[in-house]
Chains A and B, each alone.
Chain A
Amino acid sequence: MKLLVVEDDHEIQDSILAYLKPEGYTCEQAFNFKEGLNKVDFFNYDCVLIDINLPDGTGVDLIKALKRMKKQCGIIVITARDAINDRVKALEFGADDYLVKPFNLAELNARIKSLIRRINFNGESQIVAGDVTIFPENFKVTVKGKPLDLTKKEFELLLFFASNSGRVIAKESLASQLWGENMDFSYSFDFVYAQIKNLRKKLRDKGAKDYFQTIYGVGYKFEAE
């Protein structure tokens, strides 16, 4: 799996790289528009991450170039929070998804995985985490082959955890995953706890092992062996 990250901030570049590394991707970096254009011209990537604001051009132009070259790759754009127009434009020109700065890495990871699933499996994918199997496109979950009934939020939560298997996920990331960018964090944590409690109980009732681990002061870790 080959990834290209086009982003001018070195720190953010490094963070993305460090976080995605355990997933086994081959990650390449481009720090400006020109570099990005050269790389997509020479190589083929499964997924390209593009920051809209680049020092020598806009990410939208890069998307246009990718489409002109008829590259078959997933495109995720990163935009500033207030640049709604950029976001709309990027999606119009063929970006598959967008992330708003400042995003959290767990979310980025989940988005990339979801995009790659969509491209590579044509909606037939499944995620296996121990006894649990998730069918993201059909919103279905089975435990040891038996279907498990989850609410929409519980399903989203489980998918998010499974996409970031083995990672420590902060409660803030979980809250923003559940309620989007408009939710203030401090308040919703109680509810995050409640949701996770329910999810764990439902999984346990169906005979799945408890893959959740509470990281005190931070959040949770979901890890299926």
Chain B
Amino acid sequence: MKLLTKTTLYFVTITLVVFFLGGIGLYVIMQNLVEKEVNNELYDRIHFVLNEVYQTPTLKGVTFIASEPIEIEKVENPHRAPTFELKDTVLFNSVQRFYSPYRRLTTVVRSKDGDYYRISIFKSLIASNILIERVALVTTLMLLLFILLAYFLNRYIFGKIWADFFDSLHKIQEFSLSNPQKEAFSPSEIIEFDELNRVLNKMIDKIINDYEGVKEFTGNLSHEVQTPLAVIKNKTDLLFQESLNEEQFKLAGSIYSATNRLSEIVRSLGLIARIDKNQFTNLTSIDLESIIKEQLENFDSLIESRKIKVNVNFENRPPLIMDKNLAEILINNLIKNAVRHNVEKGFINIAVNGKSLQMSNSGEDPGIPTEELFEQFSRASKEGYMGIGLAIVKKITDYYGMKITYEYKNQNSEHKFVIIFSQNH
């Protein structure tokens, strides 16, 4: 959920609850006030009536003229002190032909002639009801207006305040180690964001530094190690020429093999470091078909000896701009992988169209999760092979913004690599 949505949601929920409760409270208070007012008026008026009654000798045939109805009715002696009784009721308005709400105050009074009369006076509640309704309506409208205003104000202020934050966020999202352009975070008026930017700047500096350091180290290492490796190799070569016995030959042979493997690892690491350092900048238009054919030729005898069927289907030439060396290394590693992990009488299918390269080969289940396959040094077979070749493939495809996927189909034991060349290459 977005920060703005979340705040707005909280804001609206809380305001609605508060306003709802406040509205109920307001209504109750208003109701109370109006009722008191009506009651007071009724009591006031009934006292005038009573005064009149006390001064009038008899109530027979007396009519009070008032703005609101008065009912006088003769009753039996109630034998008790006069009480006042308040009640809500409705009266039929014969002119407008509808029932309208009234409040009635009833009491029993003894006239001068000794008769008891029940006197009821009425007060119309229409006006006060309308008042309450209006007040409620106006209040509600005001509140709605307030919520609306607060909502937009909230959005506006939110946008203003968090602008720096989103700016920083955007810059972090843009940041990429393969192209570590240092994005300076702009200073913010808000102390917290300013602090955040400062920390981010520091962090990114450190990340870039560390990354450069690691790249530098790998590059230097792979370079510096070559000479001592060459020495070991050469000396072992010389040792082979001595008259060694079988056991000694075996020992020397092991040294030689290990040195060669080490040399191969270091070479691959050096290659990856060089790609990282952007040292392959000799961009040319790549004739993928001829590179594939050339590289396949390298493996001709291997392919032949294992009776592997190779099928190349070249639809049309993808518009590839790459360093030719890297293109060759890419194809070489893919084919090498396809030959190495193949089976006797297996197959290699290569299909190229304008957008993608697909290479599939028969072979056993690699037995490791797909996503680990491209990781440096993941082991993929029993022969102790380190999968740095595929790490190189991944590095090169990443470098040129291509997408590579791998899947293993169990039903026909097929390994399939697909490289999708991006639009701008």
Instruction: Mark A residues whose CB is within 8 Å of B.
Output: 9, 11-12, 15-16, 18-19, 22, 80-82, 84, 101-106, 151, 153, 167-170, 172-173, 178-188, 191, 194-195, 215-219
Contacts and interface: CB of A to CB of B under 8 A. Distances in A.
Interface stretch (B81-89, B226-234, B364-372, B402-410): B226-234
Contacts of A181: 267
A182 B332 CA distance: 8
9 contacts: A11-B234, A81-B267, A82-B274, A102-B229, A170-B236, A187-B385, A188-B302, A194-B305, A218-B256
Given A105-B238, A188-B302, A195-B301, A218 B249 contact: yes
Nearest to A109: B237
Contacts of A153: 301
B230 A101 contact: yes
Contacts, number: 124
B223 A12 contact: no
A109 to B, nearest CB: 10
Interface residues of B, number: 47
Given A11-B231, A173-B237, 15 more contacts: A19-B234, A22-B241, A101-B226, A102-B234, A168-B240, A169-B240, A182-B329, A183-B336, A184-B340, A185-B257, A186-B257, A187-B385, A191-B301, A215-B240, A218-B240
Nearest to B251: A217
A205 to B, nearest CB: 19
Nearest to B341: A187
Contact of B271 (A82, A105, A168, A184): A82
A81 to B, nearest CB: 6
B231 A182 contact: no
B237 to A, nearest CB: 4
Given A217-B254, A218-B249, A102 B233 contact: yes
In the A-B complex, list the 9 residue pairs whose CB atoms are closest, starting with the nearest. A102-B230, A15-B234, A217-B250, A217-B253, A168-B240, A218-B253, A11-B231, A105-B237, A172-B260
Interface secondary structure of A, over-half rule: helix
Contacts of B274: 82
B246 interface: yes
A184 B263 CA distance: 10
A194 B340 CA distance: 16
B313 interface: no
Nearest to B242: A168
Contacts of B302: 188, 191
B384 interface: yes
Contact of A81 (B226, B238, B241): B226
A219 to B, nearest CB: 8
B230 A103 contact: yes
Contacts of B263: 102
A98 to B, nearest CB: 15
B389 A184 contact: yes
A82 B249 contact: no
Given A16-B234, A102-B263, A187 B340 contact: yes
Nearest to B240: A168
A180 B385 contact: no
Contacts of B223: 80, 82
Contacts of B261: 185-186
B253 A170 contact: yes
Nearest to A18: B238
A12 B227 contact: yes
A169 B237 CA distance: 8
